Amino acid sequence: MIILLILLSSIDSRYVFYGTQDNYTTVAEINYTKVIRSTEEYEYVRTHNLSRNSAKYWLLLNKAADRITRALSATNYDLIVERGKAPGPVVDITKEVINECASPS
């Protein structure tokens, strides 16, 4: 357990989507690309071919990120990282988060 704690504290913060590496009891992982691509905001960006230079593009992606953060906070995990970034076996909750993102807010 101590080794896992040390290894988790060394995860690059870019790959920590929820929680902190200093204070957690349960760890999960997600495929963030798959989750964000499942949101209605991303679908709008894709179907309307919005440019990265567009303000609407960034507003929608920010809204999608907020939706994902709410979905992550609705789980029973207090540290959620990118798939493959946590050492050792960790539960993958990608489908659970996608389902939560699809639920009406």
Rounded CA-CA distance 64/68 in Å is 6
Letter for the amino acid at 95? K
Number of domains in the chain: 1
pLDDT digits (tens, 9 = 90+) for 27-78: 999 999 999 999 999 999 999 999 999 999 999 999 999 999 999 999 999 8
Over the chain, what is the mean pLDDT? 88
Range of the domain at 46: 2-102
CATH number of the domain that residue 30 is part of = 3.30.910
Rounded CA-CA distance 20/7 in Å is 13
Residue 92 pairs in a beta bridge with 29
